[in-house]
Amino acid sequence: MKILWTCICILAVAPSGVAADSIAKARIKVAADGLPSGHETPEGAACDLARAFIKRDTALFTTTCLRPYGGGKAPDEYAAYLKSTVESMKEEAAKKEPSPGGPKSIGKAYAARHLSKNGPASFGYAAFGFKDVMFVDVGVYLHNGERALNRTMVIKDKDGKWYVHPMPAVSPLLSTGLNEEAPSTQDVLEVYDVQK
């Protein structure tokens, strides 16, 4: 009872707003464009997927994407999609000029969010051993001057690293409600401290 009383006393005398301001943000390193990169955060994986298409970097695409998983036809369909995308990226890289509708740079990345429905994360854990299922909205500038917003499903796999799932439609139970989620509003850099 004494511990509980101490906690209540501390909360009673703390100025309002201290609790929210004193929560430490995770520190991350960012790429040259000032946005997260790598497998440590969901946003890093999502931004790396965008960078892979921007640079037409098949190695980055392959290492950023989730491994084939599941049973039935799904793993084969997913593996075929990955292979087809790699071939398309190679063809794009061979062109003298990039396609006008292709991505030129990342304009904005939003903080990762969980799906509103509990089913996808529970299904991912029970069926495939995934530790978490989220999504990240990434805005890109296109070569034709227009902008596009890409909603990217991200999965924390058994190894504790984040990967993108570039073809969530292959697993409807895992992606239920993904495209019905409201637009993201919180900038990714609001949730992390950037290491300099």
> Is 157 part of any domain?
yes
Instruction: Inform me whether the pLDDT recorded for 174 exceeds 70.
Output: yes
pLDDT of residue 138: 98
Kindly state the average pLDDT of the residues 32-42.
95
Query: What percent of the chain lies above the pLDDT cut of 70?
Result: 87
Residue 153 domain-assigned (yes or no) = yes
- Res. 12 pLDDT band, cuts 50 70 90: very low
**Would you place residue 107 in the very low, low, confident or very high pLDDT band (cuts 50, 70, 90)?**
very high
- Any idea which residue has 């640079």 for tokens? 55
Whether residue 4 lies inside any domain: the answer is no
Structure tokens at 139: 């805005």
**Confidence check: pLDDT of 13 > 60:** no
Q: In angstroms, what is the C-alpha Rg of the chain?
A: 20
Residue 21 has pLDDT above 90, yes or no: no
Domain assignment of residue 6, yes or no:
no
Domain contains 66: yes
Residue 9 covered by a domain: no
- Domain of residue 88: give its range: 26-194
**116 domain-assigned:** yes
Q: How many domains does the chain have?
A: 1
Instruction: Tell me the pTM.
Output: 0.85
Using pLDDT thresholds of 50, 70 and 90, give the confidence band for residue 19.
very low
Residue 2 confidence (pLDDT): 37
Select from 43, 75, 70, 67 the least CA-distant residue to 139. Answer: 43
Q: Any idea what the CATH number is for the domain that residue 147 is in?
A: 3.10.450.50
By the 8 A CB rule, do 104 and 54 touch?
yes
Closest CA to 47 of 181, 162, 175, 143: 162
Whether 190 maps to a domain, the answer reads yes
* Non-local CB neighbours of 132 within 8 Å, separated by 6+ positions: 42, 114, 121, 124, 155, 156
